[in-house]
Structure 1
Amino acid sequence: MDIKEIQSLIKFVAKSGASEVKLEMEDIKITIKTGSETPETTIIQAPVAATPQMIAPQPVPVTQPTAPAASSTSANETTTEDDSKYITIKSPIIGTFYRKPSPDKPNFVEVGSEVKEGDTVCVIEAMKLFNEIESEISGKVVKVLVDDSSPVEFDQPLFLVDPS
């Protein structure tokens, strides 16, 4: 079982509303608990001398503030039309999003920055590992969609890039 299958399982359990799910296979045992203040996922792999464990936050639904229906609809239509010409850079993993390599360094990219394919645009920390996220396209960064030091989910949009 690879990390993408585990991530899919976590999302499925979170959406299903189940409070606890246990999955045991020959070489792996996974327990996912939800419904408490601190949801956790425990992964135990046998035959390992030390038992590795992973505690990951469950996906938290983001609620949008409600606005009057007329202004909300027109704003969403305008945003959709404007954003359709841009390409989205998405998160390949679950973790914590950082715009700079360390607190005393400048951001990797700013709004208006030109990026080339392969340029690092941010880092995502997952299980104490900092993963550099590279741009898959060349263009100009139009919008940063995530706040610095925020948790991100798999496939969550991070940046909008104008490829022209």
Structure 2
Amino acid sequence: MLKIQEIRELIKLVDQSSIDEFSYELDGSKIKMKKNKAVTYVEEKAAIQNNEVHKAEEVVSAPAAQAPVQSPKATEAPAGETAPAASASDENLHKIVSPMVGTFYQSPSPDAGAYVKPGSKVSEDSVVCIVEAMKLFNEIEAEVKGEIVEILVKDGQLVEYGQPLFLVKPE
């Protein structure tokens, strides 16, 4: 089964190419992407060995163009209040972005502590949050070694593909 990072790279490659449809199958897992005018769809099905019952199904939508990451409403939200102060200093900060549309969770369960908070040190493979999509809980890794400077979304908030979740000061 492909990892989230591999799926993210496939989405980027299909998005940047001129192809309209992409399909990939390996060991019972199948990914099929179709690119329409404004949306790329990713579907992944992992079947049990006898292929009688599908274990999981995930559909992720992503903007076709990389430049406009957030919708206008998202930029007018409370995050817009901190954007002017952060934009001047975030040039040297790494943004951890959501690889899919889903619900952001900062802890593995409601009664557990958050994976990270501002000031937390992370490595490339540190889990920083979970994004739930279609009842699948996807662990998101930091991808960079450094220190969490800011958490840009609230627990339980819906997030879009490519939406910044964290600002990290790289080491």
TM-score (norm 2): 0.56
2:168 corresponding residue in structure 1: 161
Distance change >3 Å, CA 84–CA 53, structure 1 → 2: closer
For residues 76 and 97 of structure 1, the distance between their equivalents in structure 2, rounded to whole angstroms, comes to 20
Cα distance in 2, alignment partners of residues 148 and 106 from structure 1: 12
% identical equivalent positions: 38
**SS of aligned partner of 2:118:** coil
User: For residue 24 of structure 1, what is the aligned residue in structure 2?
Assistant: none
Q: Deviations over 1:49-68 (max 9, x none)?
A: 99x998889999343559xx
- Identify unmatched segments of 5+ residues in structure 1: 9-27, 33-40, 44-48, 67-71
Q: Give the superposition deviation at 1:117.
A: 1.0
Counterparts of 1:6-155 in structure 2, within 5 Å, are 61-63=71-73, 64=75, 78-155=85-162
Report how far residue 4 of structure 1 moved.
4.1
Q: Deviations over 1:50-103 (max 9, x none)?
A: 9x998889999343559xxxxx9xx86643221111000011111111000000
Mapped to 2, the partners of 1:81 and 1:57 lie a distance apart of 31
* RMSD of aligned alpha carbons: 4.3
Letter in 1 for 2:138: N
Separation (CA, whole Å) in 1 of partners of 2:94 and 2:141: 14
**CA separation in 1, counterparts of 2:59 and 2:83?**
36
Code of the aligned partner of 1:61: S
Change (3 A) 1:111 1:58: same
Corresponding pairs, count: 131
Letter in 1 for 2:71: P
Structure 2 counterpart SS, 1:149: coil
Q: Which has the larger radius of gyration?
A: 1
Unmatched tracts of structure 2, length 5 or more: 1-6, 16-31, 44-51, 64-69
Closer/same/farther in 2, CA of residues 163 and 58 from structure 1, 3 Å limit:
closer
